[in-house]
Amino acid sequence: MSMFDDVPVDVGVIYEGERIRWADAHMELGGPRIERKFELVRARPMDKVKDGEIKIIGPDIKDMEKKSYPIGILVEVAGKEVEEELEGVIERRIHEYCNYIEGLMHVNQRYDVWLRLSEKSFKKGLNTFTMIGKVLYRLYKNELPIIEKIQITFFTDKAKVDEMYEMAMKVYEARDARARGLRDEDVTEFYGCNLCQSFAPTHSCVITPQRYANCGAISWFDGRAAARVDPKGPIFKISKGECLDPIKGEYSGANESLKKNTMGTITRVQLYTAFGYPHTSCGCFEAAAFYIPEVDGLGIVHRGYKGTAVNGLTFSAIADSTAGGRQVDGFHGISFEYMRSPKFLQADDGWNRIVWMPKDAKERVKDFIPAEVIDKIATEEDVSTVEELAAFLKEKKHPVVERWKAMPVKAPAEEKAEAAKEEEFVMPMPPTAAVPIGGGFKIILKDAKIYAKKIRIVRETD
Amino acid sequence: MHVKIDELKSSLGTVKGLELSIGNIIEKAMAEEVGPTPFPSTVDLREWDFKLLEKYKPFYMPFCDVCCLCTFGKCDLSQSKRGACGLDMAAQQSRIVLLACCIGAATHVAHARHLVEHLVEKFGHDLKLDVGGVNVEVEAPVTRLVCGVKPETLGDLEDVLDYCETEITHLLSATHTGQEGSNLDFESKVFHAGMIDQVGMEVADIAQISAYNFPKADPDASLVNIGWGVVDSTKPVIMVVGHNVPSAIGIVDYLQDNGLQGMVEVSGLCCTAHDITRYDPKAKIVGPISWQLRYIRSGVPDVVVVDEQCIRADSLQEAQKIKAPLIASSPKNCLGLKNRTQDPVEAIVSDLVNGKAPGALILDPEKVGEVAVKTAILVAPKRKKFKVIPSVKDVIKGAKECRKCYECRRACPNDLPITEAVAEAAKGKLDALAELYDECIGCARCESACPQNLPLHSFIVRAAEKKMKGEIYKMRAGRGAIQDVEIRNVGGPIVLGEIPGVIALVGCANYPKGGKEVAEMAMEFAKRRYIVLTSGCAAMSAAMYKDENGQSPYEVYPGSFDAGGIVNVGSCVSNPHIAGAAIKIASIFAKRKLMGNYEEIADYIHNRVGAVGVAWGAMSQKAASIASGFWRLGVPVIVGPHGSKYRRMLLGRKDREEDWYVYDARTGDRVYAGPAPEHLFYAAETKEEAMVMIAKLCMRPNDTTKGRAIKLTHYIDLSRRLYGTMPDDIHLFVRTLADVPITMRDEILKVLKKSGWKERRVPDPTLLPRLIRKRKEES
């Protein structure tokens, strides 16, 4: 009655975290001892795929002894909605599905794959790639019904793997180049994600080719695949609509989507800026950008950073000032992948406006920071206060220094040295109406006794 | 504050005879608006309680049919009879539950009061509270939520305790004859007691973490030694037992200040042991409460120091049997001993060493430290060979005297085959006795019942001597709070369905089948990538297990609040860090206000946070109040079979569709959300039943489809593995086809078809109509 009755071992997500030590292994495929290995998904025309075919080129599991073998897994898929752009998304499922199989461990992806089969599962009868192929086939078809036809080939013959490897590397390269080259201008659809609404009911993400979801877990390609597979699901298509501001990244379709999904709380979003109408933030964003008024620049702090940022606040405190689906001028949650995007805060001057970030974070995106500014961005090792930061920026001739000339009054303030730390953190807010303080009346109390067991003094908020 | 003005004329006005008296100004400046219920009274959250009690109706299981609390009685309340005061059985049962929870809450609050007073005296009112440095923004989530204040210093905690004490007094008074008459109102007060208990515990733990510098939300807190076998009995050994750590700290400090570290072995049981290892990772833990008697009888301790809670009432008699002096150090547990607090140390030591007094009451932790160390050093050489555990020869000889009356087995709470094992012993074979050791909870009721006065517990201990000596494990010391950043880290994996839930293994050690089951449950769910939290005795039991590589669970699984972590928060009073993590989720992800906003946050947690408490060996009144603190937050709790003696369960009825509607906050519609979570308080008979129920109770109405799919996978998988069948209620938990786990798709689709399943929507769930959002119109 189960989907996998003809597979001698169990199949389920509970095996995902299973680790197989070499001592318990029957053999391994790929991994550090094998130079060339790969796994690859290709989208093919309908007539080029023989649905359900599983081929093995080279020795099968039952012919293997306890050592490392070359491996290549080629999954060829076809379907009306299957396109080359989804190959990467479909390919990552190989990792997930292989790990569902009891006694099969799969690590890494692409040209780094490493699989181990446990002796125990081998003894239970998992002795041919055909069975692994069957599992992959059924899971693919069940989870991604857009795949109408699928054929799977396992390569273990060294010569053949080497040959296919060259081809696979070219495909990866081309795919990466295409993904990097894909601009928001090139597509007609963005994707929206409401997954976080289960915990942050007022947050909704807009995902574009050049702006990853805040969590860093969902790319435009992932969104595209998910929306096609389950059009009614929490990840959905957004028609881009009219481009209202190409620099700030405002699109009528994104505005409409947010209006609908935040129940009208958010009506405008500008995707490439931290000011005005920045993207809203959930709670699990990878990093946050924050405005530092004293130097008119932006800082970045990421979730893994344990210390305090240059403005004296921790990641938690900064995150807390923007989380929960709010739109806060000057503060918003971002992903690392967005930092790698050419659209990264483009309306605010991009990397030229970034003045501080933790060393770790800088290291992770260093290849994407323009060479002329990279050394001008301070880290916790360079400065620890805003005053030191201002001096650092001045000394390094950071591009924001130019801005100070335009606003001489607000230029790096020295007087606030200690106060800045102690003070309550104040977010830029729209000016509030002055509270009327008035006279013109008299209070006359005679023989009054006021007794309060407790008095709560609450700051007035509007 | 008191202001009195006889007459004042100013430009503002004229004041005559004004008296302004303010009891307490409790807030200076607040960053956050305070919600509707700061410092709630016993009735302020009653409507919320009734909402929960409507869904999870109390199911009473009278432990006793009569009430004998006043002299009208005894009154027989069986078969719908009412007592002389007019009370019926349901109300009487809930009244007893309330009494138990008041005892529990009072215990923790008194504990907190004692600690705070002691620490204020030592460190001053102004000592800053710090539970996790920069990584913890919300440092006292329960106190913020309940009281609407943000305590910053030790002194601030005193106000919070004032409130707790007032509430407990009100609650306790409601149990007097002729007070509350409705069982539901008693139940609401039970929830209130539980909530107050959480505040009291939080106060105690944040005070001691801050003042004693315990690990501060540290996932890599030290691995400490635990088990009977870790104690070096060649050194003078001090045994500390109880829950309130200052006297144990007095001992460690004295050793340190006098260069005696390493010369004297400090070993502990119960929560004092937890907390002493949070202070000094070199201290050793013998084990949970069940080890008390066997450890004393083994003769290893040279001095026994008791503080408060869960200490055997006969510890003085037992200590006398091994000629180990006993020091009582808590006003709550004086054991009839003479108060020697004001006496000179040398005089006390001399009396104890020379056997002039069997023990002393010393209500000064520093003095306890000095007396205990000096006494241990002097007593140790005198009593080296003294042991009360009979020799193997004597066990066999004693066993032959057994008349097979089975009184021992009848007296045993776990119905262990003691008589049978003694019969084997009479034939010279001790294996059967040794086997009892693993499941014995060390209560010695068998001995009291034996007409031949056989020291049966000691027989078991002798038979299992080898096992005991082999008890050498590692436990991660209690880390305290969960960091805000850790919660942010798991947000993504939870919505993406990578972490199926959070499971808290808490409470006492009255397990049906030994502590091994706690370790097994912890590991099973950690392996399945749940986040597993532990505290109290359960945290110790989870350590007392070795895998095939000889490693304890805490060595195998990390201590971080993340998928697959086994996270020891600490002692009993550390429990609010677990509730606190759930509370912080609402603040971190949804930016909900915490201050004095209990109902809204409880609604959020109940409908969204897939957390389950498991108190597998819950025994005490404290465990009862800890559980009720979770209930009011809407977090389900599972107890072991002994838990049914708590007299009532809170069980949902999945067959009643009308019970499971929530509001969709987006639209205001009432939407069927399925029985998630199905129960609020449930007693499981076996570990297997508990595990299936744990997986099931992790489901919540807000689950994303990916999240629901993985939760269902584990529920179904465990059910198939442990029961051998598919659950019969899958259709209630599948909302859309995307909820169906892909590896089980075919079978589940069949089940759905058979049950006439229809697709429904995933709501933005709430039980509170006021939280229905209004669509903002364009301006």
CB contact under 8 A, B745 and A319: no
Mean predicted lDDT score pLDDT of chain B: 93
- Which residue range is the domain that position A219 belongs to? 187-422
Q: Which residue of A has its CA nearest to B667?
A: A263
- Distance (Å, rounded) from C-alpha A293 to C-alpha A310? 12
Both A171 and A276 in a single domain?
A: no
How far off is chain A from B527, nearest CA to CA, in Å?
7
Q: Which residue, among B539, B534, B541, has the nearest Cα to B512 in the 3D structure?
A: B541
Residues 287-326 of A with CB under 8 A from B: 303-304, 306-308, 314-317, 319-320, 323-326
Highest mean pLDDT among A83-92, B3-12, B721-730: B721-730
Q: Which of A292-296, B26-30, B152-156, B636-640 has the lowest mean pLDDT?
A: B26-30
Cβ-Cβ contacts under 8 Å, B134 against chain A:
306-308, 314, 316
- pLDDT at residue A423 in the model: 40
My answer on whether A142 and A258 are in the same domain is no
B494 contact residues in A (CB cutoff 8 A): 199
DSSP secondary structure code for residue A344 in this structure: T
Closest in B134, B488, B590 to A324, CB measured: B590
Q: Which two tokens stand for residue B694?
A: 């744990």
Shortest Cα distance, chain A CAs vs residue B733, angstroms: 16
Query: Is A244 in the same domain as A134?
Result: no
Residue A441 has pLDDT above 60, yes or no: no
In this structure, the answer to whether residues A66 and A140 fall within a common structural domain is yes
Asked whether residue A309 falls in the same domain as residue A239, the answer is yes
pLDDT score, position B139 = 84
Model pLDDT for residues B405-458, shown as the tens digit of each residue:
999 999 999 999 999 999 999 999 999 999 999 999 999 999 999 999 999 999
Q: Residue ranges of the alpha helices (H) in B414-559?
A: 418-426, 431-439, 445-449, 456-463, 465-469, 484-495, 516-527, 536-543, 553-556
User: Given the DSSP bridges, would you call strands A297-302 and A331-334 parallel, antiparallel or unpaired?
Assistant: unpaired
* CB-CB under 8 Å, A323 with B591: yes
Q: Which residues of A touch B722 (CB under 8 A)?
A: none
Q: Work out how many domains chain A is built from and give that number.
A: 2
Q: Domain boundary residue among A181, A198, A231?
A: A181
Partners of residue A447 in chain B, C-beta under 8 Å? 16-17
Q: From B21, which residue of chain A is nearest by alpha-carbon distance?
A: A451
Any CB–CB contact under 8 A between A451 and chain B?
yes
On whether residue A8 sits in a domain, the answer given is no
User: For B46-212, CATH number?
Assistant: 1.20.1270.30
User: Among B525, B482, B534, which residue's Cα sits nearest to residue B500?
Assistant: B525
Q: Which residues of chain A make contact with B745, given a CB cutoff of 8 A?
A: 3, 142
Q: Nearest Cβ partner of A14 from B714, B742, B750? A: B714
Q: Rounded to an integer, what distance in angstroms lies between the CA atom of residue B463 and that of residue B466?
A: 8
Establish if A244 belongs to a structural domain. Answer: yes
Same domain for A91 and A129? yes
pLDDT at residue number A317: 87
Residues of B in contact with A303 (CB under 8 A): 485, 488-489
A chain contacts of residue B707, beta-carbon cutoff 8 Å: 198
Is residue B468 pLDDT above 60, yes or no? Answer: yes
Tell me the shortest Cα–Cα distance from A13 to chain B, in angstroms. 7
B328-386 pLDDT, tens digit per residue, is: 999 999 999 999 999 999 999 999 999 999 999 999 999 999 999 999 999 999 886 56
What pLDDT is stored for residue A61 in this prediction? 97
Asked, for residue A448, whether it belongs to a domain, the answer is no
Of A125-134, B131-140, B689-698, minimum mean pLDDT range: B131-140
Residues of B in contact with A440 (CB under 8 A): none
CB-based contact B22 A307, cutoff 8 Å: no
Position A254 in a domain: yes
Please give the span between the terminal C-alpha atoms of chain B, in angstroms, as a whole number.
48
> Of A148, A157, A154, which Cα lies nearest the Cα of A52?
A148
Q: Is residue A382 part of a domain?
A: yes
Residue of A11, A14, A280 for testing the chain B interface, max B β-carbons within 10 Å: A14
- What is the rounded average pLDDT of the residues A159-167? 96
Same domain for A326 and A357: yes
Predicted ipTM of the assembly: 0.81
Chain segment B599-620, per-residue pLDDT in tens? 999 999 999 999 999 999 999 9
Six-digit token string for B402: 């057994």
How many residue pairs from chains A and B have C-beta atoms closer than 8 A?
215
Are A226 and A345 contained in the same domain?
Answer: yes
Residues of chain B with C-beta less than 8 angstroms from the C-beta of A317? 137
Distance CA B493, CA B490 (A): 5
Letter string b/e over residues B648-662, b meaning 16 or more CB atoms within 10 A of that residue's CB: bbbbbbbeeeeebbb
The CATH number of whichever domain residue A371 belongs to comes to: 3.40.970.20
Contact A457 B25 (CB under 8 A): yes
Last residue of a domain, one of A152, A181, A210: A181
Q: Global pTM?
A: 0.89
Domain B223-383 annotated CATH 3.40.50.2300: no
- B663 vs A232, A263, A317, B692, CA distance in Å? 21, 16, 32, 28
Is position A391 within any domain?
yes
Pairing of strands B303-306, B326-328: parallel
Residues 261-280 of A with CB under 8 A from B: 263-265, 267
SS3 at position B560:
coil
| Tens-place pLDDT, residues A50-80 | 999 999 999 999 999 999 999 999 999 999 9
The answer to whether residue A220 scores a pLDDT higher than 70 is yes
> What part of A 11-30 touches B (C-beta under 8 Å)?
11-14, 16-17
CB contact under 8 A, A4 and B743: yes
Nearest-CB residue to B591 (from A306, A316, A324) = A324
Residue-wise pLDDT for A171-208, tens only, equals 999 988 888 889 999 999 999 999 888 888 889 999 99
A284 at interface of B, judged by CB pairs closer than 8 A: yes
Contact assignment for B744 to A100 by CB distance below 8 Å: no
Q: What's the mean per-residue pLDDT of chain A?
A: 88
Q: Which of A434-438, B293-297, B496-500 has the lowest mean pLDDT?
A: A434-438
Residues of chain A numbered 149-178 and touching chain B (CB < 8 Å): none
Q: Which of A36-40, A404-408, B508-512 has the highest mean pLDDT?
A: A36-40
Task: Give the confidence band of A421 by pLDDT, cuts at 50, 70, 90.
Answer: very low
How confident is the model at residue B21, as a pLDDT? 54
Task: Say which of A139, A443, A454 has its CB closest to residue B742.
Answer: A139
Whether pLDDT at B31 is above 70:
no
Please give, rounded to a whole number of angstroms, the shortest distance from the CA of B582 to a CA of chain A. Answer: 11
pLDDT at B757 over 60: yes
Q: What is the mean pLDDT of residues B224-246?
A: 96
Residues A269 and A355 in one domain: yes
Alpha helices in B354-480 (DSSP H): 365-379, 392-399, 407-411, 418-426, 431-439, 445-449, 456-463, 465-469
pLDDT-derived band of residue A430, with 50, 70 and 90 as boundaries? very low
Asked if the Cβ–Cβ distance from A314 to B135 is below 8 Å, we say: yes
Tell me which of A181, A211, A227 is where a domain ends.
A181
- Interstrand relation of B765-766 and B13-22 (parallel, antiparallel or unpaired): unpaired
For residue A457, is it within any domain? no
Query: Among B249, B390, B395, B240, which residue's Cα sits nearest to residue B324?
Result: B240
**In this structure, what token pair is assigned to residue B611?**
């957390």
CATH 3.40.50.2030 in chain B, residue ranges = 223-383, 474-766
Q: Are A264 and B736 a contacting pair at CB < 8 A?
A: no
Together in a domain, A200 and A144: no
Mean pLDDT of the region B236-250: 97
pLDDT single digits (tens) B195-219? 999 999 999 999 999 999 999 999 9
Whether residue A166 is found in the same domain as residue A311: no
Distance from CA of B17 to the nearest CA of A (A): 4
The CATH 1.20.1270.30 portion of chain B extends over 46-212
Q: Per-residue pLDDT for A86 more than 70?
A: yes
Q: Clarify whether residues A199 and A175 are in a common domain.
A: no
CATH no. for B474-766? 3.40.50.2030
- Tell me which H or E stretch contains A302: strand A297-302
Of A198, A306, A450, Cβ closest to residue B702: A198
